[in-house]
Amino acid sequence: MAHIPDGILSAPVLIGGAAVALGGVTLGLRSLSDRAIPRAAILSAAFFTASLISVPVGPSSVHLLLSGLMGIMLGIAIFPAVGVALILQALLFGFGGLTTLGVNTVNIALPGFILAMAIGPIIRSSHSSAMRAGLSALIGALSVLGTGGLVALSLALSAPEYTPVASVLLATYLPLALAEAFVTAAVVGFLSRVQPDALSLATGAAAS
Amino acid sequence: MGTVSPMRPSLLPEDLRIRLIVVFLAVCIFSQLQSLETAFFAFIGSLILGATERIERSLWRRLMHVEGFVLLIFITMPFLIPGPSLFSIGPLQASLEGVARAALIGCKVSASVLLLMVFLGPIEPIRLGAALYALKLPESLVRLFVMTVRYVSVIRMEATRLHKAMRARAFQPGTNRHTYTSYGNLIGMLLVRSLDRAHRVENAMLCRGYNGRYPYAELSAPKPMDWFSGSILMALALGILLMDKIPF
């Protein structure tokens, strides 16, 4: 539900979104050394694949965003990774849009990046697995709700008539936030047991 | 699917660079149309283009994939905009204004989706890299894109294998902790294997002298026919924009 198609948003919102996305993508690319690009690409391919899994929540099912986890593993490079994934999604499945590429990138990447910046370091240094699980669940849930809030904001800023829909929209993000919280906690738990250095930023030149 | 000869005549420019520029500008124009008449015109135009290009049936199905909230906007719009009443459902009054706005949005969204489908649907993503590079996108972004495209198919196979292994052990997805933990482990494993793979790929690339340069296929110059069809399509889109700006 995070992909706004073409033809809905107003020009100022589209341009604003594109400008922020451009900044994020530029900084993200700059953070990747030449040698780190293949690694970042393979990671974004993995996240793209993971988001195709449909996870049941009650009677319906959701597709995970995993932006919190991406933020932890990619840092600011989450912006180009999400942008590339969105282009690919538009090409392969026809989801999303061209003019909304910037807005959609920001809506998904920004919450994940900010939350991972704020909470990620605590997760990496924590020695208690319960604490790690709780914090990763928090990152997962809040990044989804942040995306929901930004999508609602993009709609409300575009036209006042969208506002009622925007508030209903937020409620539909609750089940996804729930699933995302549990799955993110499980992934972080798995990685910290199996390969803890996977949780550190994968953008540096030589990690191993 | 009928038999499609490889050299079937097409209105679309074959050159990917021209095709990308045309579709980008056209979608920019379509997404900002203000009047219902022109938006309807744009929608019909894209529909005709789609019909003449003999798009595969699987692509048409994409039109059905409208996001939930677009549907919601479409349904609520008639009742939220004040104006002379057209019809009413219980206490709700649908205004003429509102119905027109909903139709405008519907036309713009479907026209844009149609254009994307007709122009980009048949393109293999892996071929796009050279075109994006030729269009002067940052080289590192193109490299990221090309490698992501390449490895999505590899990692999807990996994910399918892991999924099959789970099902073979009688995994039944449901709304419970066990399901979420299992999917978490699946994704975790996928990430671990991806990092392993990244390490191997990196070494293999270094062995072959990778120093941050990445070769791209040299694109031949666009054919005159590509320029011609590109400008015709562009003129049509600009015509719609003019119609939209000048009330008639």
Which ipTM did the prediction report? 0.90
Residues B228, B118, single domain; the answer is yes
Give the model's confidence band at B248: pLDDT under 50 very low, under 70 low, under 90 confident, else very high.
low
Q: How far does Cα B23 stand from its chain's mean position?
A: 11
Q: Does A183 touch chain B (CB under 8 A)?
A: yes
Asked whether the beta carbons of residue A7 and residue B105 sit closer than 8 angstroms, the reply is yes
- Return d(Cα B204, Cα B210) in angstroms, integer: 9
Q: What is the pLDDT of residues B113-129, one digit of tens each?
A: 888 888 888 888 888 88
- Cβ atoms B120, B13 nearer than 8 A: no
- Return d(Cα B190, Cα A40) in angstroms, integer: 14
Structural domains counted in chain B? 2
Give the model's confidence band at A206: pLDDT under 50 very low, under 70 low, under 90 confident, else very high.
very low
Residues B164, B186, single domain; the answer is yes
What mean pLDDT value characterizes chain B? Answer: 84
Q: Does domain A11-195 have CATH number 1.10.150.80?
A: no
Asked whether the beta carbons of residue A39 and residue B195 sit closer than 8 angstroms, the reply is yes
- Region A25-36: mean pLDDT is 90
- Region A172-187: mean pLDDT is 92
- Return d(Cα B109, Cα B112) in angstroms, integer: 5
- Return d(Cα A30, Cα A12) in angstroms, integer: 27
Work out the minimum CA distance from B131 to partner chain A, whole angstroms: 14
Residues B21, B114, single domain; the answer is yes
Structural domain including B44 reads 16-123+221-245
Kindly state whether residue B142 falls inside one of the protein's structural domains.
yes
Asked whether the beta carbons of residue B141 and residue A83 sit closer than 8 angstroms, the reply is yes
- Return d(Cα A130, Cα B160) in angstroms, integer: 30
Residues B110, B225, single domain; the answer is yes
Domain spans, chain A: 11-195
Residues B23, B82, single domain; the answer is yes
Kindly state whether residue B8 falls inside one of the protein's structural domains.
no
Residue A27's pLDDT is 95
Residues B102, B163, single domain; the answer is no
Residues B143, B188, single domain; the answer is yes
Residues B96, B202, single domain; the answer is no
Residue A204 has pLDDT above 60, yes or no: no
Task: Give CA torsion, residues A42, A73, A55, A105, to 10 deg.
Answer: -80
- Cβ atoms A195, B192 nearer than 8 A: yes
Asked whether the beta carbons of residue B148 and residue A208 sit closer than 8 angstroms, the reply is no
Task: Give CA torsion, residues A120, A121, A125, A131, to 10 deg.
Answer: -40
Q: Does B10 touch chain A (CB under 8 A)?
A: no
Asked which of A41-45, A142-146, B71-75 is least confident by mean pLDDT, the reply is: B71-75
Nearest to B109 among A6, A26, A52 (CB): A6
Residues B24, B117, single domain; the answer is yes
A8 burial type by CB count under 10 A (0-12 exposed, 13-18 middle, 19+ buried): buried
Q: What is the pLDDT of residues B39-97, one digit of tens each?
A: 998 999 988 888 887 777 777 776 666 666 677 777 887 887 777 777 777 777 778 88
- List the one residue out of A48, A149, A133 whose CA is nearest residue B125: A48
Residues B104, B152, single domain; the answer is no
- Cβ atoms A116, A75 nearer than 8 A: yes
Residues B144, B177, single domain; the answer is yes
Nearest to A84 among B148, B186, B188 (CB): B148
Phi/psi at A65 (nearest 5 deg)? -95, -40
Taking only residues 74 to 133 of chain B, the set having a beta carbon closer than 8 angstroms to any beta carbon of chain A reads 76-77, 80-81, 101, 105, 108-109, 111-113, 116-117, 120-121, 123, 125, 128
- Cβ atoms B23, B234 nearer than 8 A: no
Classify residue A78 by its DSSP letter: H
Asked whether the beta carbons of residue B211 and residue A191 sit closer than 8 angstroms, the reply is no
Asked whether the beta carbons of residue B194 and residue A45 sit closer than 8 angstroms, the reply is yes
Per the listing, tokens 């999505």 go with B152
Residues B53, B99, single domain; the answer is yes
Q: Which residues of B touch A4 (CB under 8 A)?
A: 67
Kindly state whether residue B133 falls inside one of the protein's structural domains.
yes
Q: What is the pLDDT of residues A65-92, one digit of tens each?
A: 999 999 999 999 999 999 999 998 888 8
Q: Does B245 touch chain A (CB under 8 A)?
A: no
Amino acid at position A75, single letter? G
- List the one residue out of A82, A80, A72 whose CA is nearest residue A197: A72
